[in-house]
Amino acid sequence: MEELIPNLRDERVQGAVKNLLAYSLVILIVPLSSMFLLKQYFFEAFLGHTPNDSLTYSAVCAVVLVHVQDPHDEPVHLGFPVSLPPNELFRLRSQFLPLGKVGGKPSWLNPKALPHSNTLICKVCEKPMCFLIQVYASGPNEPEHSFHRSLFVFVCRNPKCSKPNDASNMAVFRCSLPRKNEFYSFDGPMDPDLDGDVPDPRLPPDGPKLCSLCGCSATKKCAKCQNTWYCSRDHQVVDWASHKTCCGVFPDESAEQPEPSNPANPFVFKEFGIELDQEYLNSDMFEELSDDEDDEDEDCVDDETDEDRKRRMDEFKKFAKQNESNANMTKEDLEAATEEQKRDGEFEKFNRLVSLNPEQIIRYKRFGEPLPATCQSPLPDPESVPPCENCSGPRRFEMQLMPHLLSIIEVDAIGQSIDWASVFIYTCSQSCEVPESGYAKEFLAKQDFS
């Protein structure tokens, strides 16, 4: 409970409270004073309306002023993992429209028009990728066909497919549904507290079969029992060791159900829920960050030898791993540790922001700016992001996967493992309508510390 109550003695909390007060004053004073000035000098003195009419007109203008905010000036939202006991994991199923989840099988938004197995194949090893994370990401400015909207990210399980600054071992999909659809009530999703652990009553009987291992669209069934489905021959082989003990055996309805386990099988990642919170920065932080932007070029000068760079990168990695697991790092520790990396301004900025919320696994800001992890490897410039394959419209930044996600899915081993400093996800800026309200492939880029 303690960690839920903000500590008012904490400098960062004080900063956030000050910012909030200043912001509240500004949103009161700006429209009120402009209303007064408009009434007095524009409508009354200049246009010659009566005081009563002038008051009405200026009030209308003030209301408009309050509502015309830059929609892109929203805060960054951070996603944090939420651990659930195995018998509570049902809360993350599709019918409850979870805010997001990591690992397990995907909770498809549209359970019918699933991505084709071909699109879920790793471009490096040509084997099926594994579900990584999904986020429910709808907003008030979405078009009607996109009332519900979710992103789904997949990654290849094979550590050898993870190459520096190359996202060929990953894929991201966007799915949208209108408010009126056959899978969710018009008035909102089911409630796990009220409805409990029940099968989805709206799941279409003619819907696709799901792979018993990975939860993706399945077209192959076990030849022996004709009852268990797989997305690929590969997953059938992987699952056989476990499936052979129950293949063709009809489950005894009266027998007690075995406790669910997490992860449910050795292929999927351990399952977590996600909660979102705004990122609060105090004013000092803003100043430090804008300072950095000025001398960014100096920070990224390229006059060191390859050997120097390799040594520094190793230190980076070590520091990033430590930082990941140490939520209580003090400012002094951080400064001492970053002393060595003085010359990578992007990395410094990245670490300063991450150290404020070391448990963040995603940063989310639709139409926002990505937070580069280092200036040693390239981040795609907005023009080089390929346009939407569905509508040819431009794609814009939406979400970033952070290094702490690696330790959540337990792939942060020393040596070769799935790795990233950050994964940047770019989606169709129009949220265009996809045939059958299916899944549109979007674009992602990966940045590594080496």
Q: Which residue ranges make up the site for Zn ion (CB under 5 A)?
A: 122, 124-125, 156, 158, 161, 211, 213-214, 222, 224-225, 228, 231, 235, 247, 388, 390-391, 393, 428, 432
The three-state secondary structure class of 79 is: strand
CA gap 54, 47 in Å, rounded? 9
Distance CA 194, CA 94 (A): 15
Pick the closer one to Zn ion by CB: 225 or 237: 225
Nearer to Zn ion, 421 or 428 (CB): 428
CB 231, min distance to Zn ion, A: 3
Distances from the Cα of 353 to the Cαs of 210, 279, 281, 363, 372, in angstroms? 40, 9, 9, 11, 11
Copy the structure tokens of residue 370.
């990505």
Residue 301 vs residues 132, 190, 342: alpha-carbon distances, Å: 36, 55, 11
Supply the minimum distance, in Å, between the C-beta of residue 232 and Zn ion: 6
Backbone angles phi, psi at 422, to 5 degrees: -165, 150
User: Residue 11 or 410: which CB sits closer to Zn ion?
Assistant: 410
Q: Supply the minimum distance, in Å, between the C-beta of residue 422 and Zn ion.
A: 20
**Which amino acid appears at position 216 of this protein?**
C
CB of 216 vs Zn ion, minimal distance in Å? 5
Q: What is the nearest approach in angstroms of Zn ion to the Cβ of residue 125?
A: 3
Residue 117 or 376 with smaller CB distance to Zn ion: 117
Task: Quote the DSSP letter at residue 3.
Answer: G
The one-letter amino acid code at 384 reads S
Q: Which is nearer to Zn ion, 156 or 375 (CB)?
A: 156
Closer to Zn ion by CB, 8 or 249: give it. Answer: 249
| Nearest distance in Å: CB 156, Zn ion | 3
Whole-number minimum distance, CB 166 to Zn ion, in Å?
12
Query: Please, which residues bridge with residue 121 across strands?
Result: 128
- For residue 256, the minimal CB distance to Zn ion (Å) is 23
The owner of tokens 């997490």 is 262
Query: Of the two residues 362 and 432, which places its CB atom closer to Zn ion in the complex?
Result: 432
Q: Are 277 and 76 in contact (CB under 8 A)?
A: no
How many beta carbons lie within 10 A of that of residue 66, not counting itself? 14
Asked if 213 and 235 count as a contact pair (C-beta separation under 8 A), the reply is: yes
If residue 318 lies in a helix (H) or strand (E), which one and from where to where?
Answer: helix 306-325
Instruction: For the beta carbon of residue 177, count every other beta carbon within 10 angstroms.
Output: 19
- The nearer residue to Zn ion, 119 or 158, going by C-beta atoms, is 158
